[in-house]
Structure 1
Amino acid sequence: MKLNNRLRRYINTALIIGPMTLIMAFVGVLRNYGLVSGWILKSFVTWLTMFPIAYVCAFFIIPIANRVTSKINFND
């Protein structure tokens, strides 16, 4: 299946943000509540809240990060 190249940016961002926010949700719930009953469900509910917020924010943060990184002189 061949997808439109314009979708690449959105899919790439989702594949980065998704696992990252899932790990952060698990760590946050474990840190705040510990291994209590229902911690997995709490983690997924937290992740479902975090993912859309982080996904939208990424489209503002990534271009800024790219501009700042392009101004840094790296040794080649």
Structure 2
Amino acid sequence: MKRLKRDPLERAFVRGYQFGLHGKSRELCPFTLVDVRQAWLNGWREGRSDQWDGLKGAAAVHRLNEVNAVG
């Protein structure tokens, strides 16, 4: 059975979220394509915001799932 590839923009968002949640700099964005980079930065902003709100561990994972379900 073939595995379906996830949307690259969703993957970039999740990676950016993880970087932001861990307090890493947005300058570490590994993407150069405009759309993918923007998705990564949007995820990074959400992650930073959640870090500032004190979300960690399971709470952050739950929040990420909510954001992905809406977006």
TM-score (norm 1): 0.35
Structure number having the greater helix percentage: 1
Larger Rg over CA atoms: 1
